[in-house]
Structure 1
């Protein structure tokens, strides 16, 4: 009854488990897809898109254009130079005024040295007109009492006929056209000039001395000047000097002139400096583009080549050769080419290693399969079955040893790169190793292991004691496997002259190494041993030894020791270890 109940409940449980699995399976698939999308490598990422304008080019242009732009702004803003021109113009007006005032004081004065002197108004007006008209300035003459005696703007020479050509009646009078550059220059000058600091000039119908403080200062015997701004934005420069005779101030002469000459000088200077700035800007832009091209174009080529290498499947693209540049980009190119070559070599090594591993694993697996198939026959004798099972055990041990050595070899590169480099005492390392192998070799093979020191202390090497110990163990194990019973194995430590590297030689008395295989023995999975040692070695030991020594800057090689008659006395392995000091 219980059995019947159990049988009937089993399908129900199976159905419930199946339905639960059907519910969980879609969730699991969605999670797997999500994880797969998150963990998909970037090998199939889209190619690098080409930019129309390089950001690096824009930065180079900006950095090179800013100083030229500042120069152009400095050319536009010439307030200090304008002040110097104004000061020079005021000084020129004072000099002209002193000359005109001296002439008036000598010619247009009534009185003598012993009488009271006064200005002859009519003579002063005529002389004022004659002296001032060629200079193009406006002159005003004030009496000692402050009255305006004459103004060159309204005076004319007696008897002189003034002729002014008039245009035809049908043609309107038009001012001469002004160049657009001059208009722009005048507008910039008015905008940038600090004219708001000057008082405003007002043209009065009947000006008095109170309208011109500089003229009042001249009546007190002092030279004075002033700058005012007119309604059209131009500046009016004025200079006043006293008119004297025998140290007596008889009046004041004031000369005025606008700043059109100053504006023209500023406009010419701005035009010249802006022309230079534009030319410098053009040259700067061209040189910046050339400089950016010499920097960005090689980098773009290198980036595209790197993408092609990353996305390559069957072909083998190369990094373009830019090493002839002789600059940092050339150094970067050389480094990338070296890195690419190292990567291709590493990939080829991995592929060759995988092929060698597959081949080496296939042999014991084939032997295992054959032994198991034969052992499974029912008609096989017990003794034959026992021998076949012993072969199976040996092949399993061989596979285990082979897999362990392959795992060690595959991890060796990463461990060597992460390994710490320190000082190693070779005497202590070799002494402990010889002492250990002396006991084991004497018990198992009857071989004597001896250490000989042929170098002076200290025995400090550069590297890692654990890896050097692995090298010496592999070499000694290899030598012991070929050493006959009752022979001697000699380990000698010496050093090359002139503080060269240490030299460790390991000599055995075995059959030696075929001359054609002195380099082949350092290849992966190479193994040529006596039959009693078959299957006990994977053929990776000496390959690992060479890899370790080359990583730390040393080397390992093999030769045969020969007698005087050419007879082989045994094999010699020579290990060069870099010295610490």
Structure 2
């Protein structure tokens, strides 16, 4: 048993090193190459070319920041002595704020429109928000914001068109909160729906994408579980729905 545990630990260590290397290499290449272009050819570039270079640097920096934050949170929450800073929070407003921020940072303006239960509009990507107002929870705002951001960013990355729908509602017993986010993207194979929440595991349909190395959903799962909730994924041939529950009253350990 000891030898088997050692082999598993070595395998996890190997995956960790490979993923760290990959996740840092791609954005750092984008930052350094675009910075070099700006330094060497700034006067030769027009305004649009400079803007594209600056946007590439920003996008790469954001990707590094998200990955670094996810690794840090995963490390902290895997320790027996993790600490949650629980604060009474308007969860409904928190989700609305995270949607606004993520769209601003990760989505081009021409890609989508947003509306509130008014029926779809013609657009490359539509957002539908069905958020019950006034849901107050005692949560760690930093970790929950990070989990929600990861889910939103995934939908933006893997659903280049169609509808992204987010809903929050109280369960029938009024003691549980249900959050769901659905998209019409590339989807997840049925036999991989549980595995995608494991550390450094990615869906076979997303392995070829530049971003994401199996950390974001692992963080989501850990964050939801330490808050006393559960998370699951559903997917058909195309499209994915991630749903998690949170108890209405969350107590610190």
TM-score, scaled to structure 1: 0.30
* Residue 505 to residue 353, structure 1, CA distance change in 2 (3 Å): same
Which is richer in strand?
A: 2
Structure 1 position 539, deviation (Å): 1.7
User: Aligned to 1:577, what secondary structure does the other structure show?
Assistant: strand
1:475 to 134, 151, 158: 151
Partner residue in 2 for 1:573:
242
1:443 maps onto 2:80 in alignment = no
Partner residue in 2 for 1:357:
16
- Contact 2:127-2:165 within 8 A present in 1 as well: yes
Partner residue in 2 for 1:19:
none
CA deviations 1:361-402 (Å, max 9, x no partner) are: 5668999xxxxxxxxxxxxxxxxxxxxxxxxx9xx9899976
- Contact 2:76-2:82 within 8 A present in 1 as well: no
Distance 2:75 2:19 in 1: 15
Structure showing greater radius of gyration is: 1
Structure 1 position 430, deviation (Å): 1.1
TM-score, scaled to structure 2: 0.65
In the TM superposition, 1:323-362 aligns within 5 A as 353-361=12-20
- Contact 2:176-2:246 within 8 A present in 1 as well: yes
- The size of the alignment, in residue pairs, is 201
Structure 1 position 527, deviation (Å): 2.7
CA deviations 1:326-363 (Å, max 9, x no partner) are: xxxxxxxxxxxxxxxxxxx9x99865542321343566
Gaps of 5+ in 2: 27-56, 113-124
1:498 maps onto 2:173 in alignment = yes
1:412 to 70, 77, 85: 77
Partner residue in 1 for 2:185:
510
- Contact 2:74-2:222 within 8 A present in 1 as well: no
Partner residue in 2 for 1:452:
130
Q: Which structure carries more relative contact order (alpha carbon 8 Å, separation 6+)?
A: 2
Give the CA RMSD over aligned residues.
3.7
- Contact 2:23-2:67 within 8 A present in 1 as well: no
1:434 to 66, 85, 99: 99
Distance 2:8 2:89 in 1: 30
User: Aligned to 1:417, what secondary structure does the other structure show?
Assistant: coil
Distance 2:221 2:24 in 1: 29
Structure 1 position 508, deviation (Å): 0.5
Partner residue in 1 for 2:49:
none
Distance 2:101 2:25 in 1: 38
Distance 1:557 1:484 in 2: 22
* Residue 416 to residue 577, structure 1, CA distance change in 2 (3 Å): farther
* Residue 510 to residue 425, structure 1, CA distance change in 2 (3 Å): same
- Contact 1:462-1:577 within 8 A present in 2 as well: no
In the TM superposition, 1:13-412 aligns within 5 A as 353-361=12-20, 405-412=70-77
- Contact 2:23-2:213 within 8 A present in 1 as well: no
Partner residue in 2 for 1:10:
none
Distance 2:218 2:191 in 1: 17
User: Aligned to 1:558, what secondary structure does the other structure show?
Assistant: strand
1:544 maps onto 2:208 in alignment = no
1:556 maps onto 2:231 in alignment = yes
Partner residue in 1 for 2:40:
none
User: Aligned to 1:502, what secondary structure does the other structure show?
Assistant: strand
- Contact 1:434-1:449 within 8 A present in 2 as well: no
Which is richer in helix?
A: 1
